[in-house]
């Protein structure tokens, strides 16, 4: 039986994700992860995003609607930022530096206006799975849950998308995301790799073989999707 800590989360997912991930939700690794998070919260630690938003990316973008995957590392670790969608923050929250660089690349790539906010829910609603490799983090400690077991679950999510019948554009930014490239069948899907959009990575861009600035991931993803008869993504926000 599904662990009680996750049963409501599984039930809240679109049916296509329930079918693909039920066994993973029932796995010992997920039961252990539920126990770990419960213990962390019981110890008074602040965990982001809020528990109700842990699987927001899957709820927002059904498996059978995925056109692109943008893979991040883990949620934002400051109060008010994390919303369960990689790189996205709620409207009214200051736009993080990495997301500002994403906005700049989007404008340069597609000629769209830079939005005044950092909320990416429109992308999620249009078929962009905004997934992190870890779905939780402790306040102020980036990467703190990277070894808590989330990678097993999120690898299964990637595998489910890879196994689907429709071609998908996988957009992998930074070392953590790019390690997942080997999981994708490039005979069927597109894989776009570059450095992370963070200012630190950008500062190293001059010596990088795959700098984020100028990588044109949005137009490349659309060209691929259109060539496969799926139609491009409206990247405007």
- The set of catalytic residues is 74
What b/e readout covers 76-90, taking b as 16+ CB neighbours within 10 angstroms?
A: bbbeebbbbbbbbbe
Query: In sequence order, what DSSP letters do the residues of 56-92 get, joined into one string?
Result: HHHHHS-GGG--EEEEESS---STTT--SSTT---TT
CB 205 within 8 A of CB 105: no
Query: Three-state DSSP class for 130?
Result: strand
Running DSSP on this structure, what letter comes out for residue 207? Answer: G
173: β partners: 194
The CA distances from residue 211 to 91, 130, 143, 202, in Å, are: 28, 21, 22, 7
């Amino acid at each position: 039986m599904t662990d009680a800590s996750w049963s409501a989360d599984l039930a809240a997912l679109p049916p296509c994700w329930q079918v693909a991930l039920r066994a993973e939700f029932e796995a010992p690794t997920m039961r252990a992860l539920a126990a770990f998070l419960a213990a962390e919260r019981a110890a008074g630690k602040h965990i982001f995003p809020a528990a109700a938003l842990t699987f927001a990316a899957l709820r927002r973008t059904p498996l059978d609607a995925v056109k692109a995957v943008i893979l991040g590392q883990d949620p934002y670790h400051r109060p008010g930022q994390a919303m369960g969608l990689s790189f996205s923050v709620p409207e009214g929250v200051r736009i993080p530096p990495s997301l500002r660089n994403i906005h700049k690349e989007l404008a340069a790539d597609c000629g769209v206006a830079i939005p005044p906010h950092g909320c990416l829910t429109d992308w999620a609603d249009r078929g962009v799975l905004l997934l992190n490799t870890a779905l939780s983090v402790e306040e102020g400690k980036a990467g703190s849950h990277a070894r808590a077991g989330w990678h097993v679950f999120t690898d299964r999510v990637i595998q489910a998308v890879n196994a689907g019948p429709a071609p998908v554009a996988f957009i992998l930014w930074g070392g953590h995301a790019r390690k997942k490239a080997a999981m994708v069948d490039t005979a069927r899907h597109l894989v776009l790799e570059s450095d992370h959009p963070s200012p630190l990575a950008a500062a190293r861009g001059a010596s990088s073989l795959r700098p984020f600035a100028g990588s044109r991931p949005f137009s490349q993803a659309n060209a691929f999707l259109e060539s496969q008869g799926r139609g491009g993504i409206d990247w405007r926000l």
